[in-house]
Structure 1
Amino acid sequence: MPAIVGAFKINAIGTSGVVHIGDCITISPQAQVRTFAGAGSFNTGDSLKVMNYQNATNVYDNDAVDQPIVANA
Structure 2
Amino acid sequence: MPAKVGAVKVITVASSSIFNIGDVYSMCPDSSAKTYAGGGSFNTGDGIHIELENSNTYVYDKDKIDQPVT
Instruction: Place the TM-score, normalised by the shorter chain, in its bin.
Output: 0.5 to 0.7
Larger of the two Rg values belongs to structure: 2
- Which runs of at least 4 in structure 1 moved beyond 2 Å after TM superposition? none
Normalised by the size of structure 1, how large is the TM-score? Answer: 0.53
3-state SS of 1:65 partner: coil
In structure 1, C-alpha distance between the alignment counterparts of 2:64 and 2:48, rounded to whole Å: 37
1:54 counterpart letter in structure 2: N
Distance change (3 Å), C-alpha of 1:38 and 1:69: same
Percentage of identical aligned residues: 44
Q: Compared with structure 1, are the counterparts of its residues 65 and 29 closer, same or farther at alpha carbon in structure 2 (3 Å cutoff)?
A: farther
Q: How much does 1:33 deviate? A: 0.3
The separation in 1 between residues aligned to 2:29 and 2:60, in whole angstroms, is 25
Matches within 5 A, 1:1-73: 15=16, 30-70=30-70
Normalised by the length of structure 2, the TM-score is 0.55
Q: Comparing both chains, which one has the higher relative contact order based on Cα–Cα distances under 8 Å and sequence gaps of 6 or more? A: 1
**Conservation of the 8 A alpha-carbon contact between 1:40 and 1:50:** yes
Structure 2 CA distance for aligned equivalents of residues 29 and 68 of structure 1: 14
Structure 2 residues not aligned, in runs of 5+: 1-15, 18-27
Aligned length: 45
